[in-house]
Structure 1
Amino acid sequence: MGHRSTTTGAPNALLPRRLVELGGRGPEDVVADPRGGVLTGLEDGRIVRVDGLGDPARTGVRVVAETGGRPLGLELLPDNALLVCDAERGLLRIGLDDGVVRVLADRVAGAPLRFCSNVVALADGTVYFTVSSRSYPLEHWIGDLVEHTGTGRLLRLAPGETEPEVLLEGLQFANGLAPSADESFLVLAETGRSCLTRYWLTGPSAGRAETFLDDLPGQPDNLWRAPGGPIWVALAGPRVGALELLHRRGPAVRRAAARIAVRAPFRPPGTMGALAVDDAGRVLHHLEGRRARFRMVTSVCEADGRLILGSLWERGLAVCDLPAAPG
């Protein structure tokens, strides 16, 4: 049973305390490690680790690997390895001790695996990941959101396998993933529908998908589960009424609008946002910043006592205060 987003009250302020330059553009996803550091991938293929985010005097950035493609979603593994959704190369595994990059999967259903977006690994070693679009590449992502292609997918890669299994199709720009605390279901962001979808892994509904949280106050991007805490949802942009009206038009009209959109100059609006939700679909935090100097928040995580924001658009990370506990 899905929930409607109960975010009608005024959101709390989301204010960057400082920005951390990374020497490269587009830290699209951010994930925290147990030592308080953050890992992120840049447009030029580098994976960097950022330490000391809670103290400007200790902050340091170092390169830990290079994918040779365009890294997006990341998942840290217990053996100090990193899963990477690379928009150009597929699903990768990187050893953080030696920087060695290994391709886990680069084809699905006989076709090249492109624009994989976010990934999680469960306790049994099964890997789940999303493909945002099979119609548009990453550099033309806006075309998919305008055309509303519904070509997103949820995939599963079982331990020892090299060919992913398609679990769900027809998703509207499938994006972030996060497991429930007991790993009985996955929460999946559909950016093109401004909603979160639940995919059941166990129980009588196993293999079924349903709406988890609908009518979000923005377009959800990456998800990140805080250890012992909520699921953080990055809101990459506000809802756009004209776009939602366009989605009700026929395919030919949407395709024509998408052709214009991919050629038009793009600059994100000056808003930033994030939600924290629990496994019952309740919104615990709604954070928003207007006239922001940090735009297009595509990821959120907690690290070193701070809330860290990543962005496909920016050249660094934003460091914010953690919100007070709800209630």
Structure 2
Amino acid sequence: MACIISLTKLINIFPIFIFVSCFPPLMLSQSFRSLQLPPKVTGPESIAFEFGTSRFYVGVADGRILQYNGPRVGFRDFGFTGPNRSKRMCDGTTDPNLGPICGRPLGLAFHYSLNKLYICDAYFGLMVLGSSGKQATQVSAAADGEPYRLCDALDVHQPSGNVIFADSSANYDLRNISKAVNANDSTGRLLMYNPDTDRVTVLMKNLSGPAGVAVSQDGTYVLVSNFINNSTIRYWLRGPGANTYDVINLQERPDNIKRTAFGDFWRAAALVKQPTRSLVPIGQRINGFGRVLRTVNFEAWYGNQLISEVQEFGGELYLGSLSAPFVGVFRF
């Protein structure tokens, strides 16, 4: 097994802890392939596809946004989040103490009509990149006078352009987030940015490590995964239940959620093997009521390292991770 120094999610440590991890050898499979990142680069946490193309973008551990241009070209630099980022210092790093300089992009999502790529950066808050890439622009760093400590996940309501995003904790940033689990931290927030007014509204407080956000196809609700208390909730944006929520699913360590073209969702999560309590990375297709429609086990390719995202595109599942040196692609 090839070992790397990596960032990963543990069942008892949310969401990131530095340690030496080993991935199983990538097995030859007709159903799985890996898109290798550039040398020394790891952690494609989230994936965003351009509208109408197969080109996609990932945010990686060293603060860059990479663009994938197909197998002949592979990945290339597109943008970055840290305003004082140095290529010499940051490129290829996995040192969390460099995060406040290099940046750490997590959630990604396009506003398609304007071709804007919104980014949740763990240290710099809500940001946006235009079609030319390069330095991302900070959109919001605080709401109601409270700075974001860990901007983690987002989605865009396409008709309005509103960005729904999560700040995972008011107390812990990415370097100290293991303490959030030990404390059962519940200071996360769900927020909405309105680009027309340039204002941020707090939708929910007291969330337990919100790590995934996905707006429904009709825009009536948003699904939010809470990594710490293992729940997925449905928050109603409009309709009779507007501004209320219900718990729709309980599953170990839910992470990013992405809506499919059919209106249901893929969610990254974990199963726990007994009696060892080792982690098994899985993807689950769920509907808006939390019913599990399908579960796919990715242990053969990720070992006990959790995946951060499952996104369906072109009949395949694209897999994000906080520690892998590749984007996984699973044909199902």
Question: TM-score over 0.5 for the alignment?
Answer: yes
1:283–1:101: structure 2 CA closer, same or farther, 3 Å change rule? Answer: same
TM-score by length of 2: 0.77
Q: Deviations over 1:16-69 (max 9, x none)?
A: 7222221212111122333122211011111012233xxxx5461111111111
Q: Deviations over 1:281-306 (max 9, x none)?
A: 32111111335435210011123432
| Alignment counterpart, residue 158 of structure 1, candidates 194, 201, 206 | 194
**d(CA) in 2 for partners of 1:200, 1:136:** 27
Contact 1:17 1:321 in 2 (8 A): yes
Describe the SS at the equivalent of 1:143. Answer: helix
Contact 2:149 2:171 in 1 (8 A): no
Aligned partner of 1:26: which letter?
Answer: G
Does 1:211 find its partner at 2:226? Answer: no
Aligned partner of 1:109: which letter?
Answer: D
1:283–1:270: structure 2 CA closer, same or farther, 3 Å change rule? Answer: closer
Aligned partner of 2:260: which letter?
Answer: A
- Note the aligned Cα RMSD (angstroms): 2.3
In the alignment, which residue of structure 2 is the partner of 1:86? 121
Q: How does 1:166-185 map to 2 (within 5 A)?
A: 166-185=202-221
- How far 1:240 sits from its partner (Å)? 8.9
Q: Percent identity?
A: 29
Contact 2:272 2:280 in 1 (8 A): no
| Alignment counterpart, residue 107 of structure 2, candidates 44, 63, 73 | 73
Aligned partner of 2:128: which letter?
Answer: R
In the alignment, which residue of structure 1 is the partner of 2:87? none
TM-score by length of 1: 0.78
- How far 1:106 sits from its partner (Å)? 0.9
Does 1:283 find its partner at 2:292? Answer: yes
Contact 2:43 2:323 in 1 (8 A): yes
Describe the SS at the equivalent of 1:48. Answer: strand
Q: How does 1:43-122 map to 2 (within 5 A)?
A: 43-52=61-70, 57-58=71-72, 60-68=74-82, 69-78=103-112, 79-122=114-157
1:241–1:111: structure 2 CA closer, same or farther, 3 Å change rule? Answer: farther
**d(CA) in 1 for partners of 2:140, 2:223:** 22
Aligned partner of 2:287: which letter?
Answer: D
1:283–1:104: structure 2 CA closer, same or farther, 3 Å change rule? Answer: same
Describe the SS at the equivalent of 1:193. Answer: coil
Higher relative contact order (CA 8 A, sep 6+): 1
Does 1:271 find its partner at 2:280? Answer: yes
Describe the SS at the equivalent of 1:170. Answer: strand
In the alignment, which residue of structure 2 is the partner of 1:320? 330
